[in-house]
């Protein structure tokens, strides 16, 4: 779950423990966030109790797997190039492809059901998340909240058995097959059978029109107006870690009057700075 949901229960259920992918754990509701101290204390208590019972943490895990079956989780991250003005947003493109034409098999296993959390589901928060249920496991796909990635999570659940060694080997094999195939499917939205979010032919036509516009003979006055319009559509950006107040003021000055010798040029459409520097801008 995401960090914002690690301790969320809305009073509907009693919260016991929650965790996030980045190895953060929340124990109880005293600290309603990831808290390494309380998690470490709980593990220390478990170790102490296990020693008194001549047991170990691995032994406790073995007992759980014998009682409930082997459960194994894994992750693949599919990175996409950030969207620009001249390229489509491939990450959202991939999610749209999975929604419009969901896979029927993953890792050689039939997809029994597909759940879309954008539609809302019980107590789960609405989110841009797809869940594909397969025999003995599931695949969960969602966009990263901080990077241009799709996160592909896999979970395998096998029935209880006394042969834990063989069961764990089988779980690792199944998980690898599911994650490898799911990541391949998510990384290649153009291979899916769906209506694209943008038309490549239309993009090519726009590029041709742009080239034609630049090569077309213009009277000097018309070309000057075209260039002025281009300047008025620009966004000047300063997003460097070593920004100073002086550099931000210089940027804004350039935005107000891009050509100091000609007051008829500009201003630009906008400037882009970090939130903390907005008062200076």
Examine the domain organization and report whether 208 and 88 are in the same domain: yes
Examine the domain organization and report whether 27 and 107 are in the same domain: no
Examine the domain organization and report whether 200 and 78 are in the same domain: yes
Is 98 in contact with 204 (CB distance < 8 Å)?
no
Q: What is the pLDDT along the chain (281 residues), one digit of tens a residue?
A: 444 555 555 556 677 777 776 667 787 777 777 777 888 888 899 899 888 887 888 898 999 999 999 999 999 888 877 665 555 557 777 888 899 889 999 999 999 999 999 887 776 778 899 999 999 999 999 998 778 888 999 999 999 999 999 999 999 999 999 999 998 888 876 554 444 444 555 556 666 666 665 565 555 566 677 777 888 888 877 666 566 777 788 788 888 877 776 777 878 888 887 777 788 77
Examine the domain organization and report whether 146 and 232 are in the same domain: no
63 lies in some domain: no
Which structural domain, as residue segments, surrounds residue 19?
1-55
101 lies in some domain: yes
CATH code of the domain covering residue 135: 3.30.310
Examine the domain organization and report whether 198 and 226 are in the same domain: no
- Name the domain count of the chain: 3
* Per-residue CA distances from 42 to 35, 118, 262 (Å): 11, 35, 70
Examine the domain organization and report whether 101 and 186 are in the same domain: yes
Examine the domain organization and report whether 160 and 39 are in the same domain: no
Helices (H), the chain: 36-52, 57-68, 90-100, 164-187, 200-215, 220-232, 245-256
Examine the domain organization and report whether 193 and 83 are in the same domain: yes
Examine the domain organization and report whether 14 and 130 are in the same domain: no
Chosen domain end from 213, 241, 265? 213
Q: What is the dihedral of CA 121, 125, 126, 130, to 10 degrees?
A: -70
Examine the domain organization and report whether 169 and 271 are in the same domain: no
- For the chain, give the longest Cα–Cα distance: 92
């Amino acid at each position: 779950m995401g960090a914002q949901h690690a301790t969320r229960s809305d009073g509907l259920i009693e919260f016991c423990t929650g965790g996030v992918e980045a190895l953060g754990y929340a124990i109880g509701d005293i600290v309603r966030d990831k808290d390494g101290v309380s998690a470490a204390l709980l593990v220390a208590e478990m170790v102490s109790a296990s020693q008194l019972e001549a047991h170990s943490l691995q032994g406790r895990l073995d007992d759980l797997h014998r009682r409930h079956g082997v459960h194994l989780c894994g992750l693949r991250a599919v990175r996409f190039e950030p969207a620009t003005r001249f390229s489509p947003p491939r990450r959202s493109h991939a999610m749209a492809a999975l929604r419009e034409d969901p896979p029927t098999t993953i890792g050689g296993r039939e997809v029994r059901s597909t759940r879309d959390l954008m539609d809302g589901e019980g107590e789960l928060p609405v989110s841009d998340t797809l869940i594909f249920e397969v025999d003995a496991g599931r695949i969960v796909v969602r966009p990263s909240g901080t990077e241009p990635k799709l996160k592909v999570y896999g979970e395998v659940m096998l029935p209880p058995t006394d042969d834990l060694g063989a069961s764990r080997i089988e779980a690792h094999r199944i998980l690898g097959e599911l994650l490898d195939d799911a990541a391949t499917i998510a990384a290649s939205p153009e291979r899916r059978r769906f209506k694209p979010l943008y038309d490549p032919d239309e993009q090519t036509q726009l590029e041709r029109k742009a080239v034609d516009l630049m090569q077309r003979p213009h009277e000097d006055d018309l070309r000057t107006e075209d260039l002025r319009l281009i300047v008025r559509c620009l966004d000047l950006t300063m997003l460097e870690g070593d920004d100073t107040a002086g550099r931000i003021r210089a940027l804004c000055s350039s935005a107000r009057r891009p050509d100091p010798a000609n007051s008829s040029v500009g201003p630009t459409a906008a400037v882009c700075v970090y939130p903390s520097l907005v008062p200076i801008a």
